[in-house]
Amino acid sequence: MPELNLDGLVGPSHNYAGLSLGNIAATVNAGAESAPRKAALQGLQKMRLLVSLGVPQGLLLPHRRPNGRFLQGLGFAGTEAQALAAASQEDPALMAAAMSASSMWTANAATVSPAADTRDGRTHFTVANLVTMAHRSQEWPETLAQLKLAFADPRHFSVHWPVAPAFGDEGAANHMRFAAGHEAPGLEVFVYGENRGGLYPARQHPRASQAVARTHGTEALFVAQADRAIQAGAFHNDVVAVANETLLFAHEDAFEDRNGVLDAVRARVPGFTLVEAPGADVPLADAIASYVFNAALVSVADGMALILPKEAEETPSVWAWLQRVLADDANPIRHLHVLDLRESMRNGGGPACLRLRIALSDEALAAVDPRFLVDNAKLDRLEQLVAAHWPERIAAGDVGNPDLWGQCHAAHDALLAALGISPAELGY
């Protein structure tokens, strides 16, 4: 049973506006000049690596930005161009939100429960509402449209609307699954946050997690993320912990009740394996800055592979610990693959943030809309398209430039045309 990885293609409006409170990388780089073309090409290289490893690979599309509908919904009147122009003058922060390319972080697109786990034997998706951050709260309608198109076959898939906005839901970034294999029934672990008066907000509400598990009809365990991790910049659980099959790869400061979480998982997951970084070896600050636990952990022919950002290799404490992990035959991690994802990393997300993972039977994989799947030939075409249409640079002062808006919209139109997807199919 394969696991499909859907990566977000970095959009042409990719810029560093520093919109995400609690995301240290995004905040530190606010106002810097971005390189959308380079960011998208780096992301496509990540997809190409997964294809070479034999992992089924697809993509979710960048959303159409700038989003004039978002601004019109906030009272900016007139045409889309008029709403964008007015927001640029009256409220630059809202204009920056309308320009955000944050849909690239597809780990926040939805929570996925594979068919082996669910009551009705179908794969269930619940689109994340992302209500904690204004720039992300606009994403769910476009995400819903894409998932309904890609996973339209009702024999295999059920795509649900978001949880009510009273309770913040950030999708698969706060969700882990343990199972003997992708095809086996699993234990789904939902990680929530609790606001304890710190500087940074917890984004995943426990009631949102409970609602998703209830909707999917899946066995679940609900655990609290460590507030110390949130306040250190781990705005999602996947910044400090990731699971694959029976393996948990995590920092020791990931969970509020570390021992209780490990005992509960160990009791319910035969063959459970823990690879954990002690704080004495890998300080929490180093783990978060390097995004080592935001690696894409995937099953390959001879074990598991970690797809790591170059920042992990460049952080001495992290790299030294990873060498010890690799040398230990008691765990299944056999390969480290290091990629340069610097342009997206500077906006606060690593390899795991860029992907939504979906365990599917061969029959269900064959039912996925092929326009959302990639191989090397399609990646070649996408690289050519990005090189031709994506802006090379966006400076902070460019966000209000109508010429840039037109270039971003034209690039999005070219992408849809290249994939054979009509705007009407996505509700544009």
DSSP letters along 45-112, please?
A: HHHHHHHHTT--EEEEPPP-SS-HHHHHTTT--SSHHHHHHHHHHH-HHHHHHHH--GGG-GGGTEEE
Active-site residue, 236 included = yes
Active-site hit among 3, 142, 170, 311: 170
Task: For residues 2 and 311, give the distance between their C-alpha atoms in angstroms, rounded to a whole number.
Answer: 29
380 SS3 class: helix
* Position 31, amino acid: G
pLDDT in the model for residue 300: 96
- The fold of the 3-65+100-426 domain, in CATH, is L-arginine/glycine Amidinotransferase; Chain A (3.75.10)
Query: What is the dihedral angle through the alpha carbons of 371, 373, 376, 381, rounded to the nearest 10 degrees?
Result: 30
Active-site hit among 353, 389, 408, 412: 353
Tokens of 214: 């209830």
Quick one: DSSP state of residue 373? B
Q: What is the CA radius of gyration of the chain?
A: 20
Would you list the domain boundaries of the chain?
Answer: 3-65+100-426
DSSP letters along 342-365, please?
A: HHHHTTT--TTTTEEEEE--HHHH
Tokens of 280: 């004495």
- Assign residue 225 a region: left if phi > 0, alpha if psi is -120 to 50, beta otherwise? beta
296 SS3 class: strand
Active-site hit among 124, 135, 205, 236: 236
pLDDT in the model for residue 1: 65
Low pLDDT (below 50) residues in the chain: none
For the beta carbon of residue 47, count every other beta carbon within 10 angstroms.
25
Task: Tell me the CB-side half-sphere exposure of residue 360, using CA atoms within 13 A.
Answer: 25
Is 18:29 a contact under the CB 8 Å cutoff? yes
Beta bridge partners of 296: 307
Longest dimension (CA), the chain: 64
